[in-house]
């Protein structure tokens, strides 16, 4: 799994992140969704310098990460894992999930615009949430 860092070309995810941040969950692999988990003391800093000290860890369907919360927004990353973390949500375009909630995260792979380091939005339809937005996850401060 690859995550870009602002100081280097490519960095391997830490063992802790690989085990708890984005690794496929056993229940999901067996076909059963696992509830999202709120995680305190899970710091993240995006490509703009915004920081979070918590996230949610949810089962998800791999897919594109968009620069903005719009279907026609450039794809900047790709999520290839099936249990990933998300730091906030915002309202965007309606999507196949029947709502307009999008979750902010960092994709596993950079697709375009390397400066964005694969940070962007996935539509709620790709996450196994109890409801959208997921209770306890903050709304993105800019959305």
Residues of the chain with pLDDT under 50: 1-30
| pLDDT value for 33 | 66
Residue 119: name the closest of 140, 134, 105 by CA.
Answer: 105
| pLDDT value for 32 | 59
Reported as type and span, the H/E element at residue 40 is strand 37-45
| pLDDT value for 34 | 78
Rounded distance between C-alpha atoms, residue 102 and residue 81, angstroms: 18
Residue-wise pLDDT tens digits, 98-122: 999 999 999 999 999 999 999 999 9
CA atoms within 13 A on the CB side of 102: 26
Residue 118: name the closest of 41, 38, 25, 47 by CA.
Answer: 47
């Amino acid at each position: 799994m690859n995550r870009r860092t602002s100081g280097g070309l490519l960095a391997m995810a830490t063992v802790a992140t690989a085990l708890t941040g984005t690794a496929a969950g056993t229940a999901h692999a067996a076909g059963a969704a696992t509830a999202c988990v709120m995680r305190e003391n899970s710091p993240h800093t995006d490509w703009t310098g915004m920081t979070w000290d918590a996230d949610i860890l949810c089962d998800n369907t791999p897919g594109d990460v968009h620069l903005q919360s719009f279907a026609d927004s450039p794809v900047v990353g790709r999520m290839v894992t099936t249990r990933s973390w998300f730091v906030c949500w915002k309202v965007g375009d309606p999507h196949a999930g029947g709502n307009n909630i999008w979750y902010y995260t960092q994709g596993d792979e950079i697709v375009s615009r390397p400066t964005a380091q694969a940070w962007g939005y996935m539509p709620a339809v790709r996450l196994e949430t109890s409801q959208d937005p997921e209770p306890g996850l903050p709304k993105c401060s800019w959305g």
